[in-house]
Amino acid sequence: MDGVTTAIFLLLLAIICLSLTFTASDKGQLPPGPKPLPILGNLLQLRSQDLLTSLTKLSKEYGSVYTVYLGPRRVVVLSGYQTVKEALVDKGEEFSGRGSYPVFFNFTKGNGLAFSNGDRWKVLRRWSIQILRNFGMGKKSIENQILEESSFLLEVLRNTEGKPFDPVFTLSRSVSNIICSVIFGRRFDYEDDRLLTIITFINDNFKIMSSPWGEMYNIFPNLLDWVPGPHRRLFQNYAGMKDLIARSIREHQDSLDPNSPRDFIDCFLIKMAQEKQDPLSHFQMDTLLMTTHNLLFGGTETVGTTLRHTFLILMKYPKIQARVQEEIDRVVGRSRSPTLEDRVSMPYTDAVIHEAQRFADIVPMNLPHRVIRDTPFRGFLIPKDTDVITLLNTVHYDPSQFKTPKEFNPEHFLDANQSFKKSPAFMPFSAGRRLCLGEPLARMELFLFLSSILQNFTLEPTVKPEDIDLTPISSGLGKVPRPFQLSIRAR
Ligand code: HEM
């Protein structure tokens, strides 16, 4: 056989094997779903809209638990509050694996806190939570740091002198500085190259991952590795981030005092040294690089994006903005900064922030999960190692949980006495064993940054409020708000 005949023969063999795989495994107790084609999987059913819309549509046809093939990969999709909660919370252990996510995997290779599995993930997660707490996450010390950063942010906003500007970088710099201070032991000046590099790379990657290119890469990574397009920038950006983090780790190594760790990196280096003799230790240099990247990425783009969505909402609904300001004036006044202690006395502001997170729904398909053993679920059997997509979007927009899910309505989080009311279907940070590890930090940042800004300024749109479009520009990994300008008026 010549080369071409061999290639054709192998391709046909692959197609036959794949079709056998699809038909054989579909016969068991797998949840129902559209019939897949070899190699392409259900691409035909997914092709015309973005993945979120397509998957949500399929759930209307096949129910809240169904099977779909993203290319050759089998995935079970869960939707609606009750089903997602039963998986992530009631069967938390079974659903605690991390599913395949090529836009990250080709960089992390399954290493680092957010994308590892098994023992390594358990050890890294437990250890990281402890270290982040030691450095003040969820405590007074980090609150002071956020307040200090807010004062720098307010100064930048004041210097705009009412002229319109795009808030992406202004917000990201301040937000990123908080996680930077935990990881690198210091905040950066707003013009510092390292800070600008971090936020530029992260912002660009978040945009690419949320675009159709990012979604397609997740389905056919091997094919797209050969195709030109913006997805290729993902890996250039990763390489740039890796260089920057590696440089910082070297600086830490040169000045490390094992008795007095300054930050997350120091603690990791000390742990690495302690476990040097253990060949099975999870504390290795590459794991440090990847985990640092996970924390920077998680800690920067998510909060920045949520703040941008919230800005747009507050400008579209000026009465809601005015009511938050009225509450800030009444509870905090103008002579001191808002603190976390004020939050319990500010139910309306708290409800607006929760509703903004529900409505903006910035990670609509969650990060992919995986079942770590054969898992009986709602009358089906999900085989071990099957990837699972939990559509957080369908939780946040579940009409059984929210009275007017399609509207921005702070009443979703207020009771009849206008006191703050929790909702079990509030899941922007997901739920269960993989629950976002930065939730306490993110919640502090959202409250302190927003209330400080609104205490000092009114956000004004450059277009009529009714012309503000709250629908995202893309909804892949994240829901990215449409680019906009605003001006800031001192109060
Ligand atoms: C508004 C802000 C944020 C949102 C909406 C958000 C959302 C999420 C979501 C949906 C997940 C996936 C959970 C799952 O797999 O079930 C996640 C995971 C994660 N987040 Fe966040 N996040 C935010 C802020 C942060 C911050 C500030 C940090 C940094 C400290 C962070 C670090 C992480 C990490 C490390 C994971 C992986 C956890 C694991 O796999 O065990 N996030 N986040």
Domain spans of the chain?
59-490
Q: How many Å separate Cα 381 from the centre of its chain?
A: 29
Between CA 163 and CA 488 the distance in angstroms is: 7
- Gap from CA of 385 to ligand 1 centroid (Å): 22
Which pLDDT tens digit goes with each residue over 338-385? 999 999 999 999 999 999 999 999 999 999 999 999 999 999 999 999
pLDDT reading at 17 higher than 50: no
Nearest ligand 1 atom, CA 291: 35
Between CA 33 and CA 65 the distance in angstroms is: 9
Confidence of residue 13 (pLDDT cuts 50, 70, 90): very low
What pLDDT was estimated at residue 10?
46
pLDDT reading at 308 higher than 80: yes
Average pLDDT, the chain: 91
Architecture of domain 59-490: Orthogonal Bundle (1.10)
Pocket test for ligand 1, best of 206, 288, 302 (most atoms within 8 A of CB): 302
What single letter denotes the amino acid at residue 213?
Answer: W
Mean pLDDT of 403-408: 97
What pLDDT was estimated at residue 9?
45
Q: Which of 443, 414, 454 is nearest to 343 (CA)?
A: 443
What pLDDT was estimated at residue 140?
81
Cβ(441) to ligand 1 under 6 A?
yes
Contacts of 279 (CB under 8 A, 6+ apart): none
What pLDDT was estimated at residue 6?
45
Cβ(87) to ligand 1 under 6 A?
no
Is 436 labelled as part of a ligand binding site?
yes
Which amino acid residue places its CA nearest to atom 21 of ligand 1?
Answer: 436
- Gap from CA of 114 to ligand 1 centroid (Å): 8
- Gap from CA of 7 to ligand 1 centroid (Å): 43
pTM metric for this prediction: 0.92
Asked if 189 and 195 count as a contact pair (C-beta separation under 8 A), the reply is yes
Confidence of residue 164 (pLDDT cuts 50, 70, 90): very high
Cβ(434) to ligand 1 under 6 A?
yes
What pLDDT was estimated at residue 48?
59
- Which of 2-16, 151-165, 242-256, 438-452 has the weakest average pLDDT? 2-16
Residue pointed to by tokens 């690198």? 184
Residue pointed to by tokens 């998680």? 298
Cβ(436) to ligand 1 under 6 A?
yes
Two structure tokens written together for 176: 């990123």
Two structure tokens written together for 126: 């437990």
pLDDT reading at 5 higher than 50: no
- Gap from CA of 20 to ligand 1 centroid (Å): 38
Mean pLDDT of 149-170: 96
- Gap from CA of 32 to ligand 1 centroid (Å): 30
What pLDDT was estimated at residue 16?
46
What pLDDT was estimated at residue 252?
96
